[in-house]
Amino acid sequence: MIGWLLAGGSFAVLGLSAAAHWAVASDTSWPTRALRSYENRMNQHAGFLMLRHSGQFLARIHVAAVSVCLVLALGAPSIATGSALLALVLGPVVLLKKLHEGRVVKLERQLDSWLLILANALRSTPSLGDAIASTASLAPRPFNEEVDILVKELRLGMPLDRALAACSRRIGSRVVSSALMMIVIARQTGGDLTTTLERISSALRETARLEGVLRTKTAEGRGQVVVLALVPFLLCSLIVWLDRTWFDPMLEHVYGRAVLVACGAGWVTATLWAHHIAGTRL
């Protein structure tokens, strides 16, 4: 019996693989377009995170693993296999997105330190390109990795303004893009770049301090929302513990069930609205 199941699973995997290969064989079919779009997205994450494997390789491994898990789930349907399939489908995508966002947050936090290092480097050399190159070994990680890519692009002959714009697009952060754009503007207008960098660094530190205060206040507000959202359930549990028949008229009558549905809808709306208000950041 086990042998027949293994043979059937093997043929199912082979058939699914053949169908997938036939589906992506044409460059105009929608599976091919979807796969290419997914590979491009994975390439962006893998390149930004500087992973060992390419995004195309990760995407194909992910698709193959999902296909095998789908066959196993169809052969032995259960809550466990369904949960495993869902986790396998969403897990890598969510993980890479979280890692990408975490790296961007680290770069934003290290930006003020790098700007201060760059300002000090400009005191010893008048060339902005040389000053940026000297900060590659002094900046904290992962910012030094982005500076290293920037320096390599400059050594390959790319103009400084274009290299800074490419770095801004690669990171994809509004804070980093604004700081790099101010460097370009100060360089083109002939202003005191050292003083400009010191002011930007000071402004970023003050912004980070205010964001920390705001984060603390919004965390307190979200905690209060959670407590207020749990109060109705705690109150109902206490009433049921005191008298199990208290809610029977409401549950048995149509008007009582309508009131219960209205209360549930109001609770969901109020909770989501309060969480949105408490979790809003500047």
- Encode pLDDT of 248-281 as tens digits: 888 788 888 888 888 888 888 888 888 777 764 4
Q: Tell whether 153 is covered by a domain.
A: yes
pTM above 0.75, yes or no: no
Please give the structure tokens belonging to residue 6. Answer: 């293994």
Q: Tell whether 83 is covered by a domain.
A: no
Q: Tell whether 262 is covered by a domain.
A: yes
Q: Could you say which of 173, 191, 208 is where a domain stops?
A: 208
- Please check whether residues 71 and 139 belong to one and the same domain: no
- Please check whether residues 204 and 220 belong to one and the same domain: no
- Please check whether residues 275 and 256 belong to one and the same domain: yes
- Please check whether residues 180 and 225 belong to one and the same domain: no
- Please check whether residues 175 and 216 belong to one and the same domain: no
- Please check whether residues 166 and 183 belong to one and the same domain: yes
* CA 248/CA 201 separation, integer angstroms: 64
* CA 138/CA 134 separation, integer angstroms: 7
The residue-averaged pLDDT of 99-105 equals: 89
* CA 76/CA 241 separation, integer angstroms: 41
Ramachandran bin of 87, using left for φ above 0, alpha for ψ from -120 to 50, beta for the remaining angles: alpha
Q: Tell whether 98 is covered by a domain.
A: no
pLDDT tens-digit map of 109-146 = 888 889 889 888 888 888 888 889 989 888 888 899 99
* Strongest mean pLDDT among 18-22, 158-162, 189-193, 228-232: 158-162
CATH number of the domain that residue 166 is part of: 1.20.81
Q: What per-residue confidence (pLDDT) applies to 19? A: 47
Q: Could you say which of 165, 180, 208 is where a domain stops?
A: 208
Residue from 99, 108, 107 nearest 42 by CA: 99
Mention every residue, 6+ apart, whose C-beta is less than 8 A from residue 220: none
Domain extent for 190: 106-208
Q: Could you say which of 184, 208, 232 is where a domain stops?
A: 208
- Please check whether residues 63 and 113 belong to one and the same domain: no
Q: Tell whether 99 is covered by a domain.
A: no
pLDDT tens-digit map of 137-173 = 888 888 999 999 999 999 998 898 899 999 999 888 8
Average pLDDT, the chain: 79
Residue position matching structure tokens 């202003």:
191
Q: Tell whether 96 is covered by a domain.
A: no
Q: Tell whether 95 is covered by a domain.
A: no
Q: Tell whether 21 is covered by a domain.
A: yes
- Please check whether residues 24 and 38 belong to one and the same domain: yes
Q: How many domains does the chain have?
A: 3
- Please check whether residues 110 and 166 belong to one and the same domain: yes
- Please check whether residues 143 and 158 belong to one and the same domain: yes
